[in-house]
Amino acid sequence: MTHKIQDKSGFTFVEVMVVVAIIGVLAALVTSAIQYVRVSGRDARRVSDISQIRSALNLYYSRYSQYPTEITPGQQFAVNNTTYLDIVPSNPQPYGDHVECSDSAIDNYDYTQRNGGLSYTLTFCLGYKQDDIQAGLNVAVPEAIIPQ
């Protein structure tokens, strides 16, 4: 009588399911990390854009002793042959990186002249905190950036 020994090479169902579960967890971690990097990159650009706009507004104010009545994202900001910004920066898409940012009113940076040209507000929104600027809705004024 000969006994045939069966070769049981391969993986069991449980082993395969454990590997699939581990791959799923790793994929979820990588996806969330990539999302954070994307939002953080857009936020860094928003902070840079606001800084550029504020600098241009300060240059305009130093020449005319008032802030302009309007500036339009995507357009040149120039007066009397003086260019303050070649192109006023536009808010990078998608806009709704934070719950408070999902309102369609924050699709772009919102500039409003105040106090007869002696001040302004520049509204923008961040998905995550950047330096000293809080996540969510913020307003830049000549003196500072204020969370809303």
- pLDDT tens across 121-138, in order? 999 988 888 889 998 889
Residue position matching structure tokens 């857009």:
42
User: Which residues are CB-contacts of 67 (< 8 A; sequence separation ≥ 6)?
Assistant: 57, 60, 61, 113, 114, 117, 118, 119, 120, 142
- pLDDT tens across 18-75, in order? 999 999 999 988 888 888 888 889 999 999 999 999 999 999 999 999 999 999 999 9
Asked if residues 128 and 108 have their Cβ atoms less than 8 Å apart, the reply is no
Query: What are the backbone angles phi and psi of residue 109, rounded to the nearest 5°?
Result: -70, 130
pLDDT number for residue 103: 60
Greater pLDDT, 125 or 6: 125
Q: How confident is the model at residue 107 (pLDDT cuts 50, 70, 90)?
A: confident
Handedness of CA 14, 17, 21, 22 (dihedral sign): positive
Q: How many CB atoms lie within 10 A of CB 73?
A: 18
Strands 136-140 and 145-147: antiparallel
pLDDT number for residue 70: 93
Does the pLDDT value for residue 119 go beyond 90? yes
Strands 82-85 and 110-114: unpaired
pLDDT number for residue 1: 59
| Token couple for 34 | 């990539």
